[in-house]
């Protein structure tokens, strides 16, 4: 579904920051991007979502050049790293904005879409939030609302930048549950620093280092090369198919 050929990107005045010669993923599932801070995870996501523009190379979604796709919003939805809004906004209206491309002149949706929204909120278990405003929510609740907006937007690809940072354990579990449910019908790209989560939920892991993809594969393959990727000793245990990473001494 996603193909990248000879992609090169740099921020103004810097050297090439992202350099990907060939990259291709296909099929539903959860794809985790791991790497150190500054390895280019967020930039990589922004390139795929066409948020930032690039000069050389091409990105193909469903074999179409990303720059030529008119309704990209119906193929891919994005949750930024910083989920906090610049302005307060009612929760329900915020989720509604996911279907911007289907709105009429006055910003209204048809009754079918409205009903779908309420159903979605029910199924995610956040219908009690819909009359609140975004600033009154906790970080975990807000992440759920963002997720709801992204799901409501639709599309086969869901890109989530650091969905688990600053979120308590309870909400983490809820989000993981929702993502696991979603992966049956979507390609989900996640970046995270939490190796435990990424190794346990992902079908595929993509390792970024200095803007280059150094390794790709399933959890077992990658787990053997971790020390090389992070240039540090990383210890972990594998019990009953679950990874447990050792943190701290």
Partner 1 sequence: MKNKNFFFYLLFFFLISYFYLNFRMTSYVIDIRREIFYLRFFRYFLCIFTGIVLTTSGSVMQVIFNNPLVDPYVLGISGGALFGFTLSSIFFRGNLFVSLLFSFIFSILASLISLSFSLSLKGEKKITVLLSGLLTNILFSSLVILLSIVSKNNSTSLFYSMMGSLNYPFIRTNLNFYLFVGFFLILSIFLILIKSKELDMISINEEIAKTSGVDVKKNFYILLLVVIFQTSIIVSFTGVIGFVGMIIPNIIKISGQTKNREIFFNSIIIGAALVLLADFISKYSFQYEIPIGVVLSLFSLPLLFLIVKINFENL
Would you tell me which residues interact with partner 1 (CB under 8 A)? Answer: 46, 49-51, 71-74, 76-78, 80, 82, 85-90, 93-94, 97-98, 100-101, 103, 105-107, 133, 149, 153
> Which helix H or strand E contains 193, and what residues bound it?
none
Nearer to partner 1, 80 or 217 (CB): 80
- On the 0-12 / 13-18 / 19+ scale of CB atoms within 10 A, 114 is middle
State in angstroms the smallest separation of the CB of 17 from partner 1.
18
CB of 103 to partner 1, least distance (A): 6
140 token code pair: 């975990």
Structure tokens at 16: 């090439």
The smaller minimum CB distance to partner 1, of residues 105 and 237, is found at: 105
In this structure, what are the phi and psi dihedrals at residue 109, rounded to the nearest 5 degrees?
A: -110, 160
In the complex with partner 1, the residue whose CB is nearer, 13 or 241, is: 13
In the complex with partner 1, the residue whose CB is nearer, 31 or 45, is 45
Give the three-state DSSP class for 31.
strand
Cα dihedral 178/78/191/210 (nearest 10): 170
Q: Say how far apart CA 131 and CA 128 lie, in whole Å.
A: 7
Q: How far is the CB of 73 from partner 1 (least distance, A)?
A: 3
To the nearest whole angstrom, how small is the minimum distance from the Cβ of residue 98 to partner 1? 6
Q: Are 245 and 192 in contact (CB under 8 A)?
A: no
Closest contact distance (angstroms) between CB of 143 and partner 1 is: 13
How near is the Cβ of 142 to partner 1 at its closest, in Å?
A: 12
Q: Is the Cβ of residue 98 or residue 219 nearer to partner 1 in the bound state?
A: 98
Q: At what angle do helices 139-153 and 169-182 cross, to 10 degrees?
A: 10
Q: How far is CA 130 from CA 15, 71, 112, 121, in A?
A: 45, 27, 18, 8
Among residues 150 and 167, whose Cβ is nearest to partner 1? Answer: 150
Which residue, 101 or 166, has its beta carbon nearer to partner 1? 101
The CB-of-243 to partner 1 minimum distance in angstroms stands at 31
Across the chain, how many H-helices and E-strands are there? 8, 12
Task: Report H helices in the chain.
Answer: 41-48, 91-96, 111-124, 139-153, 169-182, 195-201, 219-224, 226-230
């Amino acid at each position: 579904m996603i193909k990248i050929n000879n992609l090169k990107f740099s921020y103004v005045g810097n050297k090439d920051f992202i350099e990907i010669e060939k990259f291709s993923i296909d099929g539903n599932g959860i794809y985790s991007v791991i790497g150190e801070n500054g390895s280019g995870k967020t930039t990589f996501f922004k390139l795929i979502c066409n948020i930032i523009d690039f000069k050389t190379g091409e990105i193909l979604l469903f074999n179409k050049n990303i720059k030529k796709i008119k309704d990209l919003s119906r193929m891919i939805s994005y949750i930024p790293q910083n989920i906090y809004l610049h302005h307060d906004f009612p929760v329900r209206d915020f989720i509604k904005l996911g279907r911007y491309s289907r709105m009429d002149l006055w910003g209204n949706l048809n009754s079918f879409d409205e009903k779908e929204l309420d159903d979605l909120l029910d199924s995610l278990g956040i219908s009690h939030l819909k009359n609140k405003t975004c600033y009154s929510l906790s970080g975990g609740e807000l992440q759920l609302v963002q997720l709801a907006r992204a799901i409501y937007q639709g599309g086969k690809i869901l890109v989530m930048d650091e969905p688990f940072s600053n979120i308590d354990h309870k909400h983490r579990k809820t989000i993981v549950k929702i993502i696991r449910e979603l992966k049956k019908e979507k390609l989900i790209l996640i970046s995270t620093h939490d190796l435990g989560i990424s190794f346990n939920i992902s079908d595929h892991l993509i390792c970024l280092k200095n803007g280059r993809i150094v390794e790709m594969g399933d959890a077992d393959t990658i787990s053997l090369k971790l020390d090389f990727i992070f240039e540090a000793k990383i210890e972990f245990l594998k019990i009953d198919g679950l990874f447990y990473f050792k943190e701290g001494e």
